[in-house]
């Protein structure tokens, strides 16, 4: 069975935990978009792993992991990730594959990311500074460097010279930066090329052949539906397609190969960086949820903004991704709250809005409408079965299920693998 896992909100929904958990039933785990802006956490006992580029299934020693063509790869971060895993006893040799067609994040992408953010002043996107936007910009402008170019020294040398001249002009004339030395970067990146060469292959062929042989692939989304370049709160978005559509172009697999699409939703909403968060909590309550939920970015350490669960977002995410079920995470974070609110719809100029508006102007005039539910005020983090959850927790889950008309496949009550309540027995 080939399952796609997508974020339904603004990223950090807990995808990493569930990729790791579901990886045991898969042969391959493949990322399809984004780059080292992602931070996917897997917690096993006292050990915590944060993955940026390597798929979150790598801890399973016999599983193969794929970095698809839809990604932008920072080779320095990737090699660091491989090294760090090795130090912790995880060897990726023979089971990590990188697409020839993925794009390379160059030093000027990272610098351009930072300086263009500074230039935006108060209208900052709040990017992760990992060069994601500038690298995808070059991909679309057809001036990017791909993995296949990097590992072929002659091609890289030629392409890079021409591109760097242009980038240095841009950096010097518009952003008043020094620019980069051709020789220095050439030496550094040629060495990265030599080191990653052994992982590089035609990953679309690899996946399709595996599926032909009856193997199963777990497709790992990064970010979330509302950070999507088309479906997110543009321009406060990332530059790729976290939505399910990204799987097809980002890995070279057809829609008929996908069996299930499961969305991951946090029991509340968080967002890191700029852009609208309609159900954002007032300061004190927001801080309380942030502390309990440890809502600090896994990549940048920045505090995440917190809001109530927003069913308008989720309704749209279900539609855009064709979700068949949801994984509900971090329910335990509400353990202490007396009251919990759910945003059921928005009100806009006297009308009821059930689906997320595309226009930020309309969105800014939308007023979230809430239903208030009683909290359960006890710890649920050790509970293993749905039956044993407190009645008020069940009411919260049932409310979500009913108002969205979707199955809840799994419920997460803590970061550990075993802090999971399985409702969909086929995922056991």
Q: Which is nearer to ligand GDP, 12 or 74 (CB)?
A: 12
DSSP state of 111: H
CB of 420 to ligand GDP, least distance (A): 8
- In the numeric block, the tokens 């069975």 are attached to 1
Does residue 149 bind ligand IMO (CB under 6 A)?
A: no
Query: Is 40 considered catalytic here?
Result: yes
- CB–CB of 384/304 below 8 Å? no
Residue of 12, 20, 74, 228 marked active site: 12
Site for ligand GDP in 41-60 (CB under 6 A): 41, 43
Where residue 202 falls (left for φ over 0; alpha for ψ -120 to 50; beta otherwise) is beta
Q: Residue 238 binds which one of Mg ion, ligand GDP, ligand IMO, none, with CB within 5 to 8 A depending on kind? A: ligand IMO
4/130 Cα distance (integer angstroms): 25
Q: Residue 287, CB half-sphere, CA atoms under 13 Å: how many?
A: 2
- CB–CB of 46/80 below 8 Å? no
Site for ligand IMO in 183-222 (CB under 6 A): 222
Does residue 127 bind ligand IMO (CB under 6 A)?
A: yes
Of the candidate spans 9-17, 261-269, 314-322, 399-407, the one that interacts with ligand IMO by CB under 6 A turns out to be: 9-17
Pair of tokens at residue 221: 């989304």
243/230 Cα distance (integer angstroms): 9
Distances (CA, A) of 271 to 290, 313, 321, 423: 11, 13, 20, 28
Of the candidate spans 95-103, 130-138, 259-267, 323-331, the one that interacts with ligand IMO by CB under 6 A turns out to be: 130-138
Site for ligand IMO in 227-246 (CB under 6 A): 227, 238-239
CB of 217 to ligand GDP, least distance (A): 19
Of the candidate spans 138-146, 196-204, 305-313, 328-336, the one that interacts with ligand GDP by CB under 6 A turns out to be: 328-336
- In the numeric block, the tokens 């539609």 are attached to 319
- CB–CB of 282/290 below 8 Å? no
Query: Is 74 considered catalytic here?
Result: no
Does residue 38 bind ligand IMO (CB under 6 A)?
A: yes
Count Cβ neighbours within 10 Å for each residue of 280-315 and write b for 16 or more, e otherwise: bbeeeebeebbebbebebbbbeeebbbbbbbbbbbb
Task: Indicate the helix (H) or strand (E) that contains 120.
Answer: none
306/285 Cα distance (integer angstroms): 9
Does residue 12 bind Mg ion (CB under 5 A)?
A: yes
Among 22, 206, 298, 312, binds Mg ion (CB under 5 A): 298
Residue of 20, 27, 40, 152 marked active site: 40
Footprint on this chain of ligand IMO (rule: CB under 6 A): 7, 10-12, 37-40, 125-128, 130, 132-133, 222-224, 227, 238-239, 272-273, 298
Footprint on this chain of Mg ion (rule: CB under 5 A): 12, 39, 298
Footprint on this chain of ligand GDP (rule: CB under 6 A): 7, 11-17, 39-41, 43, 294, 298, 329-330, 332-333, 412-415
List residues with catalytic annotation: 12, 40
């Amino acid at each position: 069975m080939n399952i796609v896992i997508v974020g339904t909100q603004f990223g950090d929904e807990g995808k990493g935990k569930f990729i790791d958990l579901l990886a045991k039933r898969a042969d391959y785990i493949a990322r399809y978009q984004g780059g080292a802006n992602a931070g996917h956490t897997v917690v096993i006992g006292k050990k915590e792993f944060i993955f940026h580029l390597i798929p979150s299934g790598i801890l399973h020693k016999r599983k193969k992991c794929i970095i698809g063509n839809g990604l932008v790869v920072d080779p320095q971060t990737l090699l660091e990730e491989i090294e760090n895993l090795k130090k912790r006893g995880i060897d990726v040799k023979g089971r990590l594959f990188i697409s020839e067609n993925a794009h390379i994040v160059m030093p000027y992408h990272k610098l351009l990311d930072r300086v263009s953010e500074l230039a935006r002043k108060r209208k900052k996107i709040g990017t992760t500074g990992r060069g994601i936007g500038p690298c995808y910009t070059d991909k679309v402008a057809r001036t990017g460097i791909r993995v296949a170019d990097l590992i072929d020294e002659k091609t890289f040398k030629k392409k890079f010279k021409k591109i760097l001249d242009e980038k240095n002009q841009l950096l010097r004339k518009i952003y008043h930066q020094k620019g980069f030395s051709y020789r220095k970067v050439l030496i550094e990146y040629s060495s990265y090329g030599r080191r990653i060469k052994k992982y590089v292959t035609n990953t679309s062929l690899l996946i399709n052949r595996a599926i032909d042989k009856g193997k199963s692939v777990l497709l790992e989304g990064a970010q979330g539906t509302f950070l999507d370049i088309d479906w997110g709160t543009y321009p406060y978005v990332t530059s790729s397609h976290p939505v399910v559509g990204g799987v097809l172009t980002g890995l070279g697999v057809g829609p008929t190969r996908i069996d299930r699409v499961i969305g991951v939703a946090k029991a509340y909403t968080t967002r890191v960086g700029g852009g609208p968060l309609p159900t954002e909590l007032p300061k004190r309550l927001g801080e309380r949820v942030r502390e309990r939920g440890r809502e600090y970015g896994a990549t940048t350490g920045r505090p995440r903004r917190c809001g109530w669960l927003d069913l308008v977002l989720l309704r749209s995410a279900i539609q855009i991704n064709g979700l068949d079920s949801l994984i509900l995470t971090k329910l335990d974070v509400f353990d202490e709250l007396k009251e919990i609110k759910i945003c059921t719809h928005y009100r806009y100029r006297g009308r009821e809005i059930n689906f997320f508006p595309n226009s930020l102007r309309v969105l800014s005039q939308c007023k979230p409408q809430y239903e208030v539910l009683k909290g359960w005020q006890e710890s649920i983090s050790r509970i293993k079965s749905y039956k044993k959850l407190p009645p008020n927790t069940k009411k919260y889950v049932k409310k979500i299920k009913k108002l969205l008309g979707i199955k809840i496949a799994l419920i997460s009550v803590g970061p550990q693998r075993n802090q999971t309540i399985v409702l969909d027995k086929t995922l056991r």
